[in-house]
Amino acid sequence: MAMFLQMVGAVFLGLILVLIVAYLWLRWKIRRFTSEWSSRIEAFAQNFNPAGMGLMYVPPMTIGLSPADESQATHPQELELATLEVQNLGFRRGQLYEMGEIGGVCRALFHPERKVDAVVCDHPLLNVWVEFGAHFADGTSLSFSNCNQSSGLDHPPGVDNRFFPGEQIAALWERFRHELPDKPLADVTADGFQQRFEDSYRREMEWRISRGGVTEEEVRRCVEMGGGEFSDEHCDMVQRAWRMRIAQHIDDRLREAFLATSSMSLTEYESTRDRLVFVHEHTSSEQLALYLKDADEDSGEEDDGDDSFDRQTRLQQRCQTSSPRSVFRELMDAGELRGSYKFLTEMTTPYAADVYVASRMF
């Protein structure tokens, strides 16, 4: 579904709090960052422009809908009026859902003759909007939305999301019907809405993960849509935020899979859980640099900010030509990790990764 990534640019107000918390955390953990990176953050803050900053909020990689009631709606009257208008177009009212981590609620509706979904969404920052969506037998999809804000992000192949800000619901439906491709629709039912929604979102985010997050072109487009001026510092901060969220998501998935498939006893797992390290294709050069820094500290080496920055720069260059897994193995073989990590196993699902255990919890 298209609406979740429309919200990316709408959570900027919440981002202010995130940045404040992040600043306090950075002060506490500043020894783990190079002086160069700190100065870049300072320069970015001095030239701060909110336009396009919504991309700094990285949406969850997966999401689950859960049943909600009308008391959870922010704009209950507008939500009900829009729902009734969609029902008058031949759609049957379905479940009201809470939209997970992003917030807000959505009402599912289904057109039994045309086998088309409609969703009426209510979000604290975006008010109420409607989206019509069709899934085709060949796996492609089409959606029309009258949300006042689009994400500005690229769409995956086969996913056609179109935005008509402020369009009247009846006019949006007529436009959707007339532009619906003449090809077989998927055999869907009203009861399958939640699964379709969650699967569509998961596939879209998997596609974004495969691209490593947002591209420079996407960042530039979003900044310009917000009336701001693009900068390399802005782009770097946004892309780092996406890479960190993606890497954390993959780490979490791998950790779950490791627990489910490992021959370790529960006691053994509990003793190593916080020392497990997963190195995969989306492990960032910044994270590799932290592993090196931790190994230095473990061996009693003094921290030198300039040397750390030079080393991180070299790691970035190496990761451009080799995979993070290969780079980490090379660091192990060269003794640069000072024996602080022990190889445990290789994983192939849900992502390919090497699993190590650190000598201590850092």
* 306 pLDDT tier (thresholds 50, 70, 90): low
261, 349 Cβ separation under 8 angstroms: no
- Residues 214-249 have pLDDT tens digits of 999 999 988 888 788 889 988 988 898 899 999 999
pLDDT number for residue 8: 43
Look at 190 and 306; give whichever has higher pLDDT. Answer: 190
pLDDT number for residue 56: 53
The mean pLDDT value for 335-342 works out to 90
The pLDDT of residue 177 is above 80: yes
pLDDT number for residue 192: 95
* 122 pLDDT tier (thresholds 50, 70, 90): very high
Q: Considering the chain, what percentage of its residues have pLDDT values greater than 90?
A: 56
The mean pLDDT value for 60-89 works out to 95
pLDDT number for residue 361: 67
For the chain, the structural domain boundaries read 68-190, 231-358
* 183 pLDDT tier (thresholds 50, 70, 90): very high
pLDDT number for residue 23: 37
- Residues 201-222 have pLDDT tens digits of 999 999 999 999 999 999 998 8
What's the whole-number average pLDDT of the chain? 83
- Residues 3-35 have pLDDT tens digits of 555 444 434 333 333 333 343 334 334 334 434
CA distances from 86 to 65, 133, 237, 320 (A): 21, 13, 41, 50
pLDDT number for residue 13: 30
242, 275 Cβ separation under 8 angstroms: no
Q: Considering the chain, what percentage of its residues have pLDDT values greater than 70?
A: 81
pLDDT number for residue 14: 35
